[in-house]
């Protein structure tokens, strides 16, 4: 089987920026995930208060991830600066960890995987920075691509990940076990968990059911 070429190396093995002049812009999407293991005591404290001495941890991390995605080309030497259409970041507390998922979309001649990965990475580093005074045992990882679409390589979806939809599809790590997980708290720039109906009823999706594939509950207003 022929080894795939490393596009950022020329024939002499020198690093280079890939020439995308001849490629037409197409719709690109990428999702990436990062995990920050806090430990149960710190996670419980964060779940209870939502903030530590520096402020709201998950909201700060979400905004940092969006900002980080926009700086990708400045951080990664051979990345192309891309006109991002949207970047969204979710941060969720599950068990003893924070699960972060980032999504980036653009219409461009090259993919947005690095933007999604950078957003997830910067958000994870921000969680660490916000929490480091409370614990030195915080662990970051894994950080991984969940999905990408667009371009010649086509669609990639990591095994076990849900395809992109109205809400992101999360890949929860095997540890902690479902029995040790509590109802997640979701902080996102696009909270689509509620929608008003003309009849005046309010559909409120149970967050745990939403993230675990269960059914929605209807609450009358």
> 91 with 98: CB under 8 angstroms?
yes
Q: By three-state DSSP, how is residue 15 classified?
A: strand
User: What pairing do the DSSP bridges indicate for beta strands 185-187 and 55-56?
Assistant: unpaired
Strands of the sheet with 194-196, listed across from one edge: 194-196, 202-204, 217-219
> Which three-class secondary structure string do you get for 77-104?
CCCCCCCEEEEEEEEEEECCEEEEEEEE
Active-site residue (options: 10, 85, 96, 129) = 129
> 36 with 117: CB under 8 angstroms?
no
Is 129 an annotated catalytic residue? yes
Q: By three-state DSSP, how is residue 122 classified?
A: helix
What residues are annotated to the active site? 129
């Amino acid at each position: 089987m022929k080894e795939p070429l490393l596009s950022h190396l020329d024939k002499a093995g020198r690093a280079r920026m890939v020439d995308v002049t001849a490629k037409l812009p197409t719709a690109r999407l990428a999702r990436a995930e990062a995990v920050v293991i806090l430990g149960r005591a710190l996670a419980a404290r964060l779940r209870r208060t939502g903030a530590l001495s520096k402020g709201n941890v998950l909201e700060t991390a979400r905004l940092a991830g969006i900002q980080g995605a926009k700086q990708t080309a400045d951080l990664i030497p051979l990345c192309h600066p891309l006109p991002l259409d949207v970047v969204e970041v979710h941060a969720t507390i599950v068990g003893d960890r924070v699960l972060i998922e980032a999504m980036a979309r653009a219409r461009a001649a090259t993919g947005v995987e690095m933007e999604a990965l950078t957003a997830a990475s910067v958000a994870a580093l921000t969680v660490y920075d916000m929490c480091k005074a409370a614990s030195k045992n915080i662990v970051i990882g894994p950080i991984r691509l969940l999905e990408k679409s667009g371009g010649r390589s086509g669609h990639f979806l990591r095994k076990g990940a849900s395809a992109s939809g109205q809400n992101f599809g999360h890949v929860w790590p095997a540890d902690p076990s479902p029995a040790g997980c509590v109802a997640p708290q979701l902080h996102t720039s696009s909270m689509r968990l509620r929608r008003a109906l003309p009849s005046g009823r309010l559909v409120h999706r149970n967050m745990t059911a939403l993230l675990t594939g269960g059914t929605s509950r209807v609450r009358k207003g």
